[in-house]
A and B are shown apart, each in its own frame.
Chain A
Amino acid sequence: SQKIEQNSEALNIQEGKTATLTCNYTNYSPAYLQWYRQDPGRGPVFLLLIRENEKEKRKERLKVTFDTTLKQSLFHITASQPADSATYLCALDDNQGGKLIFGQGTELSVKP
C-alpha cells in the first residue's frame, strides 16, 4: 500500500526566507498530488494540486514540484511571513477510485 512521509520535525525559519517542505511516497506514482494547509483547531484548506505530467506549479508565493523519479514533491513558500505558520499536509490519490491518502503533515513556524 502507499506510504507517505513528510518531515516529522517542525520546521522553524526566519521571516523573509524560503520554506521548503518535503513529501515522499514509497509505492506507485500518483496521478495527482495535493497540498493543504491546516491551522490549529481547524480543518485543512486546499492550496495546490499538481498532476504527474507537471514538473512545477505556482500560485502567488507558493511553488510545488513533483518528481516521479525521486517519488517526491517539494512545497516552497517564498518570502515567508509569520502568517504562513501552520501545518502543511500533502495528499495523494489512492489509485483506487479517487480517494486521497494524507501524510501526517509538517508544522512550519515562521519567526519575525
Chain B
Amino acid sequence: NAGVTQTPKFQVLKTGQSMTLQCAQDMNHNSMYWYRQDPGMGLRLIYYSASEGTTDKGEVPNGYNVSRLNKREFSLRLESAAPSQTSVYFCASSEQSVSYNEQFFGPGTRLTVL
C-alpha cells in the first residue's frame, strides 16, 4: 500500500498562473483533507471532504478550490497563484471525519509562487 500520494513534489509558478495539486489514497478512507504549512504557523486546514461527494471550507480557503473526484482522489486547485500561497501543501486522509481517527499524511508539495 502506498498510503497517501501527492503530485507534484515541487512546483514553481509565476503570479497569476494556475495549477492543480493531486492527492490519492489507497486505504479506502472516507475523509480527506488539504493543509498548508508555513514556518511558525503549524498546519492550517484549507478544505476537507468528510465523505465522497462533499467538501467544506477549513480555516484558510480563500484562493483555493477543491474537487473530490472519487473516494480515492482529492485535488486542490489554485486558479490565480499569489506569492502568499508559497507554502508546503499536505494532503491527509482518515477513516472518518472524527477527531479520534488518526490522519495519514502524504509527503507534501513544495510550492513557490514568484
Contact = CB atoms under 8 A, between A and B. Distances in A.
A102 B99 contact: no
Given A44-B43, A89-B43, A49 B100 contact: yes
B98 A102 contact: no
Interface in A11-50: 30-32, 34, 41-46, 49
A104 B97 contact: no
A34 to B, nearest CB: 7
Contact of B97 (A32, A34, A45, A97): A97
A46 B103 contact: yes
Interface in B85-99: 90, 92, 96-99
A103 B43 CA distance: 7
Q: Give the one of A49, A93, A102 with max B CB within 10 A.
A: A102
Q: Of B58, B99, B105, which is in contact with the most chain A CB atoms at under 10 Å from its CB? A: B99
A99 B97 contact: yes
Contacts of A44: 43, 90, 103, 105
A51 B100 contact: yes
Nearest to B41: A104
